[in-house]
Amino acid sequence: MNSFMQGFTISGGLILAIGAQNAHVLRMGLTRQHVLPTVLICAISDALLIGLGIAGMGALLDKWPHAVQLATWAGAAFLAWYAMNSLRAAFSRRHMNVASKGEAITLLRAVMLILAFTYLNPHAWLDTVVLIGSIGAHLAGSERWIFWLGCITASATWFTLLGFGAARLTPLFAKPASWRILDALVGVGMGALAFSLVH
């Protein structure tokens, strides 16, 4: 149980930070579009990445600095693109409408976006594979997989609450100004994250 709670606490503490992935899950929840597949992909991806880290992939990444650098630039480019789109939306006259779900997004696009936010974000790899994975890898025997179970329980709980709980914020986002503020915050945040990756 100690290993489970250790994994739950560490994973929960890292995942609570509002980043690219969380912002996208929040948006899907607010517009009530493809929430279940979005949440499932996030939870399953965390389980996979943390599992890879515990199995020793974090040590392998340290031996391939060029691959990590390439992934970093790809992630920065994607986040910069998303930041520009968010800032453009923040200053446009068009706005999301919770009642009508705003601009419809296809399931394929929703899946591709959340996969990109997850696997093209070097911070996600550092947090899951390198940081959390390295902690779990130092545990002995079955303890490491109990630790992993605690991690994925925290991840699944958070994404479920974020995705399906976002509906409670619907009254707030009935106002166009709320969407503009959210888009502006997301744009600035993604831009800062992209900048930090390459400097």
pLDDT for the residue 99 = 45
The reported pTM is: 0.69
User: Out of 33-47, 56-70, 74-88, 158-172, which region has the weakest mean confidence (pLDDT)?
Assistant: 56-70
Q: What is the mean pLDDT of the chain?
A: 77
Q: Where are the domains of the chain?
A: 2-197
**In the predicted model, is pLDDT for residue 159 greater than 70?**
yes
Contacts of 163-170 with C-beta under 8 Å, sequence gap 24+, read: 163/25, 163/26, 163/28, 163/29, 163/35, 163/36, 163/38, 163/39, 164/29, 164/35, 164/39, 165/29, 166/25, 166/26, 166/28, 166/29, 166/30, 167/29, 167/30, 167/32, 169/30, 170/30, 170/98
pLDDT for the residue 129 = 79
pLDDT band at 101 (very low <50, low <70, confident <90, very high): very low
